[in-house]
A and B are shown apart, each in its own frame.
Chain A
Amino acid sequence: MKEMNIKITVNEKEYLLPIIEGEMLSDLLRERLRLTGTKIGCNESECGACTVVIDGEPVLSCSYPAVKAHDKKVTTIEGLAKNVGENGNSYTVLHPLQDAFIEYGAVQCGFCIPGQIMTSYALLEKTPNPEVKDIKYALKDTLCRCAGYPSIIGAIQAASASIESGKPVISPVIQTSSVGKRMVGQVSRRPDAIAKVTGKAIYSDDIQFEGMLHARVKRAMISAGILTELDVSEALALPGVQAVLTAKDVPNAKTHGLFIKDWPVLVGIGDPIRYVGDALAIVAADTREIASEAMELIKFKYEPLTVVSSAVQAHLPETRKIHESGNLLKHIKVQKGTVSEGFDDADVILEHTYHTNPNDHAFIEPECSIARLTDEGKLEIYVGSQIPYSDREQVAAVLGLPENQVRIIGQLIGGGFGGKEDIAGQIHAAILTMKTKKPVKLLFDRQESLIVHPKRHATQINIKVGAKNDGQLVAVQTELHGDTGAYASLGEKVMTRATTHSSGPYEVPNVNIDCYAMYTNNPPAGAFRGFGVMQSAFAVESMMDTLAEALQLDPIELRRKNALRVGSMTNTGQLLRDSVGLLECIEKVENALHEKAGPNPFVPVQDPDDPTIVRAWGFAVAYKNTGLGGGAPDKAGAEIELLPDGRFEVRSASAELGQGLPTVLQLIASEELGQGTEQVQVLLSDTDLTPDGGPTTASRQTYVTGNAVKYASKAMRDLLTSELTERYDVSPEKIEFKEGLAQIDRQEVQLSSISENLRKDGIIPKVSYTYWAPETKPLGQGGDMHVAFSFAAQAALVEVNTITGEVKVPEVIVANDVGFAINPLGLKGQVEGGIIMGIGHALVEDFILEEGRVITDRLAKYRVPSIYYTPEITSFIVEHPTADGPYGAKGIGEICLIPTIPAITNAIYNAIGVRVDKLPVDQEKLVTEIQNQKQ
């Protein structure tokens, strides 16, 4: 009975392997068999990314002892596609599920996809024709944070049909651009999709190097204190430990940060600990187990300090100062007109205070950095980062190296949503590599990820609105407190966005806003999809419904009356000259709503079969800036080379987080160069090979890097044209580019021969272009603060159980003004994912802190929406082009999330008369309020 070896069949191949203590099946697959398609997202049986099929049953390999798989048959994602044909002539045939996932756009960041497909595979083996409810039941705990659930459901059903019929997967009907061109605006498969559905896609943790060490970080785990003693001697003495470093080992700059460098690399003796995730020491050891053990052996002492646990508390004069500069990171002001006069003029004035909670990005791929030195002594860092050039700058500054001695090699990113903009393990891994001269991998476990990286800002928003009896807004005054946590991160930028958007997408003559971004002892808060606008939209859109009720106006009509339109002046004094599709968004959603729900969608309807269930619709609108704005230089570089094989390579250091940037860039270059997408490949995020695309944030990459690629493509076309003009002695207008070739007069020349000829002459056919977005003005100066805004309207149907308080969102109608839908398949993914993340923020997600300690430190506690929350979505694409966007396009990544939350809470009010003014919705509180109403 005591096995000496594990006999295991994996993907029809038999292995006999020695037993390793404590080894889980996922380790055996990933580390020993190098089948890295099986992913580890949480390592706590919550996310399903590690799902493999054992003897026909889907099982979580992260918590399945390897020994237990003795004598069993295991199928992993690598085992689904089949190689067909003879040597030299063999090719891979994807499983219908793999095909369907690609066709339906179910693949985004791709990290969860192996788990999704394996779970679906097991389902189809048992239930060949699953209904939606069967799919939801089977995939309930296989989480997708891109939330491509609607596409996943569609893909599974299409695969099922394909398996039954024996015919290829039938492609879905995807809404495309109404003004699509040959390539842009058309449906296109992701270039990385096949790698992502076959398990071949490589993310940072899938990389191994010879002699690689494993790092762990000793975290303070207390939220406030002064570090007085730190003893690493026991850790150093542990066999297998190669280095234990503390603050005194930090070579150069002692702090890092995206703009304000106030985040200590390591907390030194006598220095303050400001949050639970503060790093005290870092360990590198031969194995992760040894590094973890060493971490536990590090002892420290501290003098406790009082904990500052909220922004409002931090703002009180008597509160302890967390930073020498005080607790106020930034006081942000917006003023337009004279708000007191506006209120004097108002027929009705309403005021209320709203609270939003912190959220975690909960990307399924935890942070991972690998540092190593090349033979030439250059430091390389392999990491999935949203801002590779910023990583390079920050790593170089801390190590005291010139930036060109550091190379960031960006890897596929398993979800970001803003949470992979700040430094996570990049610097720590680099310091350990410099010390040990060995490759070092620093992988966060889920708990560390939840504790350490910046969250969404918790806010308190007081809003006061004044309006005339006909609904015309005359004054809006808001006061915001944002909890930016222990360090600045992007707190100032996020809260600035919250501030400027806090009077909503409305033209209001008198606006006065004060926002206080405050330091606290909570985990830092920074970028998160929606970037402050999610918070202020919740407040203002709740208020708009309250106002509509007070004035007995239709909530849609009230919004239409005040909506921003071309010619409007925003609260920061920006004249909107074009691309304001809000009214059309409102109209599209309104029409669909009335079609579905009749003339009174906001009136509660009791379920005829179950009187405890009440349904009603809610409505909300939103806007969100595209690009950095506020006077920040907003630029992106791109490079295009005609490779010797005649294909083009587009290069940019912009990041792909799953949102579909490679497809966008591929479509643009193909469009401009007269090619098909197969002729264009995209290389991203390598600071040695790709030009700086700036941060992947602020819904900006389609706009800025899209433009850079568009202009670089034109430059490439010009370069080739001028070369060919001379070589063939023809006038430029007789030269055209087509799939893989140039047509010169009536002669066709392969692009590969053009490339070769140029190279023979010593010319590398390569162009680069740096695109500068139109200049913007800083807040307070009036004029154009942003290059463009995206707009959206949403209606959400809720179903409230009046006994338990449970809320469901069965249906959502949405319209997004995106300027131009360059990549319709990616757009669909963003819209669906944004809505479901919005449902998550409204109903599910609560990052709970207690005196700065993270209560929700596991995925079992920080819940994110599962497939179970997937609503029926009706989506409209609205295209009001913006002058300088590529083909008129502007951002979509964030706007899609913002109106969902107030649409849901407004619907709850319409259903049961309870105003939710604090997120997330608390079902117990709903019941209490319902009972209070009865009394």
Chain B
Amino acid sequence: MTIWKDYQLAYSLVEAVEAYDQAEKPVCFVSGGTDLLLEIQQGSHPAMKTLIDLNHINEMRELKVMGEQIFIGAAVPVSQITNSALIKEHAMAVAEATGLIGGPQVRNSATLGGNVAHALPAADGMISLVAMDAIAITYSHSGYSKKKILDLFKGPGVSALGNDEILVGFEFQIKKPGEGSAFDRVMRPQGVALPILNHAVWLRKKDDVVEDVRISFGPSGPVPTRALLVEEVFRGNKLSDETISRAKATILKTVKFRTSKMRATSEYRYHLAQALLEKVVKIAWNRAGETE
């Protein structure tokens, strides 16, 4: 009754997919493994005969600018992301979110790929990537493909990735003048170690108007979504008290928060969502202003 029988280190994507074919089944890919291995150990994930470790695949460990895009390899430890000057410059929301995943030691193993692949509705890294409108790059037998981040999820804990499909990395637009992003969350000190609410905002300002904005909340619904109607309130408008209060009202009307036992009631979540929105939008706005 061991967690795995065979733990293989793959050094390239091709090798990983080949290893997948040849492996004794059941098999799955693992990057940081900080959640997966515990889940297997604690019986909440089926035991695996083979685990294929993706941490040694160079292109999955890269964090770089590619033309107009930032690329974050799915196997980059999140501590590197949060400390990366590049990410702090282009996507503060991602830097802030990854700095809150797990604890300090866990962040040296945990990866953004794992955070997203777990498809939890309130994964910090994932919520920030949604606001960044990230594209996921995957690799399988049929080669590379690209998916919008929101298309990666089928249900709570269920991703749309094929079993043999490797999440290679994420890309999103580099920061342009007038753009800014931010992330924040509220935890409860007791009980399950999941955020009560997390929230990310990306926006572009033009003069005193919010030209474009992307807003995500977690956990809201079975799969991550964007708060599109709340975004609509801001788009093309000044960031005034009036706009913010209309946005808050729109949260109440259009964003779904449910009660989770021993964590938070939906009322508390609505209350926090409004407070967080005001705080985070303003931070993103100020950041946007710094480079306008």
Most chain B C-beta atoms within 10 Å of own C-beta, residue among A44, A51, A64: A64
| Contact status of A21 and B2, CB under 8 A, knowing A44-B42, A63-B33 | yes
Interface residue A173 (Cβ < 8 Å from any Cβ of B): no
Chain B nearest CB from A50 CB (Å) reads: 9
**A44 and B55 within 8 A (CB):** no
Rounded to whole Å, the gap between the CB of A206 and the closest CB of chain B is: 22
**Residue B252 is within 8 A (CB to CB) of chain A in the complex:** no
A1 touches B8 (CB 8 A): yes
B275 surroundings in chain A (CB, below 8 A): 803-804
Interface size on A, residues (CB 8 A): 54
A139 to B53, CA, bound (A): 27
A45-B102, A804-B272 known; A65+B53 contact, CB < 8 A: yes
Given A63-B38, A856-B191, A860-B192, does the pair A119, B2 have CB atoms closer than 8 Å? no
Task: Find B5's partner among A22, A64, A858, A924 (CB 8 Å cutoff).
Answer: A22
Q: How far is the CB of A235 from chain B (nearest CB, A)?
A: 13
| Beta-carbon contact of A57 and B103 below 8 Å | no
Contacting A at CB under 8 A, from B3-22, are: 3-11, 15, 19
Q: Say yes or no: B264 contacts A119, CB within 8 Å.
A: no
Contact present for A293 and B1 (CB under 8 Å): yes
For the complex formed, measure the closest distance between the CB of A554 and the CB atoms of chain B, giving whole angstroms: 31
Q: Taking CB as reference atom, which chain A residue is nearest B23?
A: A2
Q: A3 touching B272 by the CB < 8 A rule?
A: no
Cβ contacts B260-292/A at 8 Å (1 or 0 each)? 001011011001100100000000000000000
Closest B residue to A805 by CB, please name it.
B268
Specify which chain A residues have a CB less than 8 angstroms from the CB of B173 in the assembled complex.
none
Say yes or no: A65-B192 contact (C-beta < 8 A), given A1-B10, A848-B262.
no
Q: Does A662 contact B (CB under 8 A)?
A: no
Nearest A residue to B2 via CB reads A22
Total of A-B residue pairs, C-beta within 8 Å: 129
Q: How far is the CA of A796 from the CA of B264 in the complex (A)?
A: 27
Measured in the bound complex, the distance between the Cα atoms of B19 and A289 in whole Å is 27
Asked whether B19 lies within 8 Å of A1 as measured between CB atoms, the reply is yes
Q: Is the CB of A70 within 8 A of B105?
A: no
Within 8 A of A (CB), among B128-147: none
Cross-chain pairs A/B with CB under 8 angstroms, 24 sampled: A1-B10, A1-B11, A46-B103, A48-B105, A58-B105, A67-B9, A68-B53, A68-B55, A119-B104, A140-B104, A141-B103, A141-B104, A141-B106, A142-B104, A292-B1, A296-B1, A848-B191, A858-B42, A861-B192, A920-B189, A923-B188, A924-B264, A924-B265, A927-B271
Q: Does A300 contact B (CB under 8 A)?
A: no
Indicate if the CB atoms of B102 and A141 lie closer than 8 Å: yes
Beyond A140-B103, A924-B268, 8 extra complex contacts between A and B, CB < 8 Å: A2-B8, A22-B5, A45-B38, A45-B105, A48-B103, A59-B105, A844-B190, A858-B42
- Top 9 nearest A-B pairs (CB, nearest first) are A141-B103, A22-B2, A846-B190, A57-B108, A293-B1, A844-B189, A803-B275, A924-B268, A67-B7
State in angstroms the CA–CA spacing of A142 and B102 once bound together: 12
What distance in Å separates the Cβ of B11 from its nearest Cβ neighbour in chain A?
6
B34 within 8 A of A: yes
Q: A275-308 toward B: CB 8 Å interface, digit per residue (1/0)?
A: 0000000000000010011001000000000000
Least CB distance from A809 to B in Å reads 11
> Within A436-466, which residues are at the interface with B (CB < 8 Å)?
447
Min CB distance A38 to B, Å, is: 13
Could you tell me the distance in whole angstroms from the C-beta of A843 to the nearest C-beta in chain B? 6
Q: How far is B188's CA from A856's CA once the two chains are assembled, in angstroms?
A: 14
The listed residue (B8, B105, B267) touching A141 by CB distance below 8 A is B105
In the complex, whether A863 has a CB less than 8 A from a CB of chain B is yes
Known A-B contacts A22-B3, A60-B105, A138-B104; the reply to A45 vs B34 at CB < 8 A is: yes
Minimum CB–CB distance from B89 to chain A (whole Å) comes to 21
In the bound complex, residues from chain B placing their C-beta under 8 Å from that of A1 are 8-11, 15, 19
**A296 CB → nearest B CB, Å:** 7
Asked if residues B9 and A70 are in contact (CB atoms below 8 Å), the reply is yes
Minimum CB–CB distance for B284 against chain A, Å? 18
Contact: A21 with B268, CB < 8 Å? no
Residues on the B chain within 8 Å of A928, using CB: 267-268
Per-residue contact bits, chain B 104-142, to A (CB 8 Å; 1 contact, 0 not): 111011000000000000000000000000000000000
Tell me how far the C-beta of A722 lies from the nearest C-beta in chain B, rounded to whole angstroms: 60
Complex Cα spacing A65 to B53, Å? 10
- Complex interface: chain A residues within 8 A of B105 (CB): 45, 48, 51, 58-60, 119, 141-142
Question: Scoring A residues 1 to 15 as 1 if CB is less than 8 Å from chain B, else 0, what string do you get?
Answer: 111000000000000
Given contacts A44-B42, A65-B7, A860-B193, contact A59 B109 (CB under 8 A): yes
Bitwise, A62-102 to B at CB < 8 A (1) or not (0) is 01110110100000000000000000000000000000000
**CB contact list, A842-871 vs B, under 8 A:** 843-846, 848, 855-856, 858, 860-861, 863
- Least CB separation from A923: chain B residue: B188
User: What is the minimal beta-carbon distance from B119 to any residue of chain A, in angstroms?
Assistant: 19
CA gap between A920 and B55 in the complex, in Å: 41
In the complex the two chains form, is B106's CB within 8 Å of A863's CB? no
Task: Give the A-binding residues of B (Cβ under 8 A).
Answer: 1-11, 15, 19, 33-34, 37-38, 41-42, 51, 53, 55, 77, 79, 102-106, 108-109, 186, 188-193, 262, 264-265, 267-268, 271-272, 275
Task: Give the Cβ gap from B193 to chain A, nearest Cβ, in Å.
Answer: 5
Interface check A259, CB cutoff 8 A = no
Contact A57 B79 (CB under 8 A): yes
In the complex, A775 has a CB within 8 A of chain B? no
Q: How far is the CA of A293 from the CA of B193 in the complex (A)?
A: 29
Q: A51 to chain B: which residues have CB within 8 Å?
A: 105
Q: How far is the CA of A63 from the CA of B102 in the complex (A)?
A: 13
B279 CB to nearest chain A CB (Å): 9
Cβ of B189 and Cβ of A843 under 8 Å apart? yes
Q: Is A137 an interface residue (CB 8 A)?
A: yes
Q: Which of B186, B190, B193, B275 has the most CB of A within 10 A?
A: B190
Q: Which residue of B lies closest to A56 (CB)?
A: B108
Residues in B neighbouring A43, C-beta threshold 8 A = 41
CA distance A570 to B166 in the complex (A): 71
Point out the residues of chain B lying under 8 angstroms from A60, CB to CB.
34, 105-106, 109
| Contacting residues, chain B, for A262 (C-beta < 8 A) | none
Rounded to whole angstroms, the CA-CA distance of A67 and B1 in the bound complex is: 18
Q: Does A393 contact B (CB under 8 A)?
A: no
B4 cross-chain contacts in A, Cβ below 8 A:
21-22, 65
Chain B contacts for A860, CB-based, 8 A: 192-193
The winner among B6, B19, B55, B264 for most chain A CB atoms within 10 A is B6
Which one of A1, A70, A855 has the greatest number of beta carbons of chain B within 10 Å? A1
Which of chain A's residues have a CB closer than 8 A to the CB of B108? 57-59
Residues of B contacting A141 with CB < 8 Å? 102-106
CA distance A319 to B103 in the complex (A): 45
Q: Which of A22, A142, A846, A861 has the most CB of B within 10 A?
A: A22
Are B268 and A44 touching (Cβ within 8 A)?
Answer: no
Whether A806 is near chain B, meaning CB under 8 Å from some CB there, is: yes
Contact B7 A68 (CB under 8 A): yes
> Across the interface, which residues of B come within 8 angstroms of A844, CB to CB?
189-190
| Residue in B7, B265, B267, B268 whose Cβ sees the most chain A Cβ within 10 Å | B7
The contact of A139 among B7, B55, B104, by CB within 8 Å, is B104
Residues of B within 8 A of A65 (CB): 4, 7, 33, 37, 51, 53
Which A residues lie within 8 Å of B51 (CB)?
65
Question: Are A804 and B186 interface neighbours, CB within 8 A?
Answer: yes
**Shortest beta-carbon distance, A21 to chain B, in Å?**
5
| Whole-angstrom CA separation of A803 from B273 in the bound complex | 11
By beta carbon, the residue of chain B nearest A855 is B262
Assembled-state Cα–Cα distance A58/B38 (Å): 19
B262: chain A residues within 8 A (beta carbon): 848, 855
A523 and B11 CA atoms in complex are apart in Å by: 49
* CB–CB B1/A289 < 8 A: yes
1/0 contact string of A203-214 vs chain B (CB within 8 Å): 000000000000
Please, which residues of chain A bring their CB within 8 A of the CB of B42? 44, 447, 858
A630 to B2, CA, bound (A): 52
B191→A861 contact, CB < 8 A: yes
Cβ A137 vs Cβ B189 within 8 A: no
